[in-house]
Amino acid sequence: MGSGKILCTILSLFSQFMAAFSNLQQNENPSMGFHGGEKGTGSSLLSEVVQLHIQKDYVVLDNGILQVTLSNPGGHVTGIQYNGLENLLETDNGESDRGYWDVVWSGEGVTRKKGNLDRLDGTNLTVVVESEEKVEISFTRMWNSSLQAKVVPLNFDKRYVMLRGSSGFYTYAIYEHLRGWPAFDLDNTRIVFKLTRQKFRYMAIADNRQRYMPLPEDRSPERGQTLAYPEAVLLVHPVEPEFEGEVDDKYAYSCESKDISVHGWISADPLVGFWQITPSHEFRTGGPLKQFLTSHVGPTNLGVMHSTHYAGADVTIKIGPNEPWKKVYGPVFAYVNSLSDGRDPLSLWKDAKKQMMNEVHKWPYDFIASEDFPPSKQRGSVGGRLLVLERYVSNATISAEGAYVGLAAPGEAGSWQLESKGYQFWTKTDEGGNFTINGIRPGDYNLYAWVPGFIGDYKFTSVININSGSNIDIGDLVYEAPRNGSTLWEIGFPDRSAAEFYIPDANPKYINKLYLKQERYRQYGLWERYAELYPKADLVFTVGKSNHTTDWFFAQVTRKKDNTTYEGTTWQIKFLLDEVDERAAYKLRMALATANVAELEVRVNEPNANPVFSTGEIGKDNTIARHGIHGLYRLFNVDIPGAQLLIGNNTIFLTQTASISPFQGVMYDYIRLEGPPPPHKAL
Ligand SMILES: *[C@@H]1O[C@H](CO)[C@@H](O)[C@H](O)[C@H]1NC(C)=O
Ligand SMILES: *[C@@H]1O[C@H](CO)[C@@H](O)[C@H](O)[C@H]1NC(C)=O
Ligand SMILES: *[C@@H]1O[C@H](CO)[C@@H](O)[C@H](O)[C@H]1NC(C)=O
Ligand SMILES: *[C@@H]1O[C@H](CO)[C@@H](O)[C@H](O)[C@H]1NC(C)=O
Ligand SMILES: *[C@@H]1O[C@H](CO)[C@@H](O)[C@H](O)[C@H]1NC(C)=O
Ligand SMILES: *[C@@H]1O[C@H](CO)[C@@H](O)[C@H](O)[C@H]1NC(C)=O
Ligand SMILES: *[C@@H]1O[C@H](CO)[C@@H](O)[C@H](O)[C@H]1NC(C)=O
Ligand SMILES: *[C@@H]1O[C@H](CO)[C@@H](O)[C@H](O)[C@H]1NC(C)=O
Whether residue 409 is found in the same domain as residue 274: no
* pLDDT higher than threshold 50 for residue 40: no
Residue 77 domain flag: yes
What is the average pLDDT across 575-594? 97
The last residue of one of the domains, among 296, 331, 362, is: 362
> Best of 146, 157, 178 to mutate for ligand 2, by most ligand atoms within 8 A of CB?
146
Whether ligand 1 lies within 6 angstroms of the CB of 8 is answered as no
**Atom 13 of ligand 3: nearest residue by CA position:** 394
Strands 540-542 and 569-577, bridge-based pairing: parallel
| pTM for this entry | 0.92
Max intra-chain CA distance, the chain: 97
* pLDDT per residue as tens digits for the range 500-539: 999 999 999 999 999 999 999 999 999 999 999 999 999 9
For residue 166, what are the CA distances in angstroms to 38, 191, 359, 567?
5, 20, 11, 58
Residue 24 domain flag: no
* pLDDT higher than threshold 90 for residue 236: yes
Query: Is 373:463 a contact under the CB 8 Å cutoff?
Result: no
Query: Is 291:628 a contact under the CB 8 Å cutoff?
Result: yes
**Atom 10 of ligand 7: nearest residue by CA position:** 563
Q: Tell me the backbone φ, ψ of residue 26, rounded to 5 degrees.
A: -70, -35
Least confident of 45-54, 497-506, 615-624, 652-661: 45-54
For residue 403, report the distance from its CA to the centre of ligand 4, in Å. 15
The last residue of one of the domains, among 480, 506, 541, is: 480
> What confidence category does residue 24 fall into, taking pLDDT thresholds of 50, 70 and 90?
very low
Whether residue 308 is found in the same domain as residue 276: yes
Whether ligand 8 lies within 6 angstroms of the CB of 649 is answered as yes
> What confidence category does residue 33 fall into, taking pLDDT thresholds of 50, 70 and 90?
low
Three-state SS letters, 105-147: EEECCCCCCCCEEECCCCCEEEEEEECCCEEEEEEEECCCHHH
Residue 608 domain flag: yes
Percentage with pLDDT > 90 across the chain: 88
Whether residue 204 is found in the same domain as residue 72: yes
pLDDT of residue 592: 98
| Burial 153-165, CB ≥16 within 10 A → b, else e | bbbbbbbbbbbbb
**Atom 8 of ligand 3: nearest residue by CA position:** 395
Contacting residues for 172 by C-beta, under 8 A, at least 6 apart:
158, 159, 161, 328, 329, 330, 331, 332, 368, 370, 373
For residue 500, report the distance from its CA to the centre of ligand 2, in Å. 56
- State the CB neighbour count (10 A cutoff) for residue 311: 26
- Identify whether 299 is preceded by a cis peptide bond (ω within 30 of 0): yes
Whether residue 473 is found in the same domain as residue 502: no
Q: For residues 189 and 261, give the distance between their C-alpha atoms in angstroms, rounded to a whole number.
A: 17
Mean confidence (pLDDT) of the chain: 92
Whether residue 650 is found in the same domain as residue 585: yes
> Best of 543, 573, 576 to mutate for ligand 8, by most ligand atoms within 8 A of CB?
576
**Atom 14 of ligand 7: nearest residue by CA position:** 563
Residue 39 domain flag: no
Query: Is 181:152 a contact under the CB 8 Å cutoff?
Result: no
Burial of residue 605 (number of CB atoms within 10 Å: 0-12, 13-18, 19+): middle
Residue 45 domain flag: no
CATH number, residue 239: 2.70.98.10
Closest CA to 262 of 147, 135, 346, 350: 350
Query: Is 678:617 a contact under the CB 8 Å cutoff?
Result: no
Question: Which is the closest atom of ligand 6 to the Cα of 550?
Answer: 2
**Atom 2 of ligand 7: nearest residue by CA position:** 563
The last residue of one of the domains, among 422, 457, 480, is: 480
Task: Give the chain's domain count.
Answer: 3
Whether residue 100 is found in the same domain as residue 203: yes
Helix or strand holding residue 20 (H, E): helix 2-27
**Atom 1 of ligand 7: nearest residue by CA position:** 563
Strands 665-674 and 618-620, bridge-based pairing: unpaired
Instruction: Supply the DSSP string of 370-408, one letter for each residue.
Output: -TTS--GGG-EEEEEEEEEE-TTT-SS-EE-TT-EEEEE
* pLDDT per residue as tens digits for the range 243-274: 999 999 999 999 999 999 999 999 999 999 99
Residue 190 domain flag: yes
* pLDDT per residue as tens digits for the range 131-187: 999 999 999 999 998 877 788 999 999 999 999 999 999 999 999 999 999 999 999
Whether ligand 7 lies within 6 angstroms of the CB of 222 is answered as no
What is the average pLDDT across 85-101? 98
Whether residue 441 is found in the same domain as residue 334: no
Instruction: Supply the DSSP string of 205-228, one letter for each residue.
Output: EETTEEEE---GGGGSTTTEEE-S
Whether ligand 3 lies within 6 angstroms of the CB of 394 is answered as yes
> Best of 563, 564, 565 to mutate for ligand 7, by most ligand atoms within 8 A of CB?
563
pLDDT of residue 45: 56
> What confidence category does residue 654 fall into, taking pLDDT thresholds of 50, 70 and 90?
very high
| Burial 204-231, CB ≥16 within 10 A → b, else e | bbbeebbeebbbbebbeeebbeebeeeb
Whether residue 461 is found in the same domain as residue 529: no
Query: Is 458:448 a contact under the CB 8 Å cutoff?
Result: yes
Q: Tell me the backbone φ, ψ of residue 526, rounded to 5 degrees.
A: -65, -25
CATH number, residue 421: 2.60.40.10
CATH number, residue 543: 2.60.120.260
Q: Residue 430 carries which DSSP code?
A: -
Least confident of 104-108, 315-319, 417-421: 104-108
Whether residue 491 is found in the same domain as residue 468: no
Whether residue 577 is found in the same domain as residue 430: no
Query: Is 589:674 a contact under the CB 8 Å cutoff?
Result: yes
pLDDT of residue 145: 87
Q: Residue 252 carries which DSSP code?
A: G
Least confident of 225-234, 562-571, 586-595: 562-571
Ligand nearest to the CA of 561: 7
pLDDT of residue 543: 98
Question: Which is the closest atom of ligand 5 to the Cα of 485?
Answer: 14
What is the average pLDDT across 29-56? 68
For residue 142, report the distance from its CA to the centre of ligand 2, in Å. 8
Which range marks the domain in which residue 584 is found?
Answer: 487-674
Question: Which is the closest atom of ligand 3 to the Cα of 681?
Answer: 4
* pLDDT per residue as tens digits for the range 357-388: 999 999 999 999 999 999 999 999 999 999 99
For residue 578, what are the CA distances in angstroms to 329, 571, 645?
58, 23, 11
Residue 44 domain flag: no
Closest CA to 460 of 412, 492, 517, 498: 412
- State the CB neighbour count (10 A cutoff) for residue 628: 24
Strands 99-107 and 116-118, bridge-based pairing: antiparallel
Ligand nearest to the CA of 144: 2
Whether ligand 5 lies within 6 angstroms of the CB of 410 is answered as no
* pLDDT per residue as tens digits for the range 418-442: 999 999 999 999 999 999 999 999 9
Whether ligand 3 lies within 6 angstroms of the CB of 680 is answered as no
For residue 597, report the distance from its CA to the centre of ligand 8, in Å. 36
Instruction: Supply the DSSP string of 34-55, one letter for each residue.
Output: EE-SB-SSS-TTTSPPPEEEE-
Residue 120 domain flag: yes
For residue 573, report the distance from its CA to the centre of ligand 8, in Å. 14
pLDDT of residue 49: 97
Whether ligand 4 lies within 6 angstroms of the CB of 434 is answered as yes
Whether residue 521 is found in the same domain as residue 564: yes
Whether residue 648 is found in the same domain as residue 604: yes
Whether ligand 5 lies within 6 angstroms of the CB of 484 is answered as yes
Q: For residues 309 and 328, give the distance between their C-alpha atoms in angstroms, rounded to a whole number.
A: 21
